[in-house]
Amino acid sequence: MESIRKKAKELLDSKQVQVIIGYENGTSNKVRAAFITDPTQVDRLIYDERCTQNLAVYLVKHEVKHLGKMGIVATIPVMRTINMLISEEQVKPENVVVLGIGEDGKLLDFPDLTVMESFLQKAKIEITAKDKEAMEKLKKMTTQEKFDYWSNALETCFKCYACRSSCPLCYCTRCAVECNQPQWIPVQANKNGNYEWHMLRAMHLAGRCVSCGDCGRACPLDIPVHLLTMHMAEESKRLFGVDSGFSMKMESVLSNYKLDDKDNFIQ
């Protein structure tokens, strides 16, 4: 924690960055994002196991970008998101300084982003045991059981789009659900509309999701929507051998192909 504050102060003092995006104590024992522009305020920054929000979502937020060059406290999923955003040309590498946090919770020193990149090559991806278990359980179900599970789980969704807004990779200003000529997804939050919306969201994150799990965490109704995108991440790794966010120059999985992609399901 001290090392994060020290580094943040150093960056702000030397004007290498104009804002540090980190975590601070919020209300009711919650933590929340902090935007520190004043070096004397760095003591607000904290880091502990409660800090799970994917802060990269702010790298593409207009009003935050507007503050200037950004320093960001980044755990492994956040670092992977930054790589994804750079690959997709949403973030300019020269506008970001990463205050990396390793698996042990200690500050990592990245003189530049290429060092972060090589760190990530070796880093492990961990999803929580709870999520792993839930996914295994789902995979063992029959088709009918899976269908019932999802159509019921998604039925309560009222389309507040917290899953979409919390996801740093859902940065489109006009989402596919808002494109209404034609209306692809029923706008209303009914069983059918919800099912198709979450299917669309998962598909649009296929090969892009970094399994941070923030969409599920953000859902006010506790619908495990992150299990959908995490599954897509797992599958694209299995099918195409790539993990998203491990390089700043990742080629998008769905806009590339290999001649030997398996096609044993095609007659």
Instruction: Kindly indicate which of the ranges 9-17, 55-63, 69-77, 82-90 contains the residues binding another protein, using the contact rule CB under 8 A.
Output: 55-63
Binding mask 189-228 for another protein (x = CB under 8 A): xxxxx-xx--xx-xx--xx------x--xxxxxx-----x
Least Å distance, CB 255 to another protein, is 7
Beta partners for residue 98, in sequence order: 72
Binder to another protein among 93, 161, 237, 242 (CB under 8 A)?
A: 161
Least Å distance, CB 126 to another protein, is 21
Number of residues that make up the chain:
267
Q: Based on CB atoms, which residue is closest to another protein, 121 or 143? A: 143
Beta partners for residue 100, in sequence order: 74, 108
Beta partners for residue 238, in sequence order: none
Contact between 172 and another protein per CB under 8 A = no
Strands 19-25 and 107-108: unpaired
Contact between 112 and another protein per CB under 8 A = no
Whether the Cβ atoms of residue 56 and residue 74 lie closer than 8 Å to each other: yes
CB atoms under 10 Å from CB of 144, counted, come to 8
d(CA 61, CA 63): 6
What's the token pair of residue 109? 């020193």
List binders of another protein among 6-35 (CB under 8 A).
Answer: 26-28, 30-35
Least Å distance, CB 151 to another protein, is 6
Q: Based on CB atoms, which residue is closest to another protein, 43 or 239? A: 239
Contact between 242 and another protein per CB under 8 A = no
Beta partners for residue 23, in sequence order: 33, 46
Binder to another protein among 11, 169, 212, 253 (CB under 8 A)?
A: 253
CB burial class (10 A; 0-12, 13-18, 19+) of residue 1? middle
Determine the size of the site formed for another protein (CB under 8 A). 86
Contact between 64 and another protein per CB under 8 A = yes
Three-state DSSP class for 163?
helix
Per-residue DSSP letters for 73-137?
Answer: EE-HHHHHHHHHHHHTTSS-GGGEEEEEE-TTS-EE--SSHHHHHHHHHHPPP---HHHHHHHHH
CB atoms under 10 Å from CB of 2, counted, come to 9
Least Å distance, CB 209 to another protein, is 11
Contact between 65 and another protein per CB under 8 A = no
The DSSP H or E segment spanning 21 is: strand 19-25
Q: Based on CB atoms, which residue is closest to another protein, 116 or 233? A: 233
Binder to another protein among 15, 128, 239, 251 (CB under 8 A)?
A: 239
List binders of another protein among 67-96 (CB under 8 A).
Answer: none
Least Å distance, CB 265 to another protein, is 6
Binder to another protein among 75, 81, 87, 236 (CB under 8 A)?
A: 236
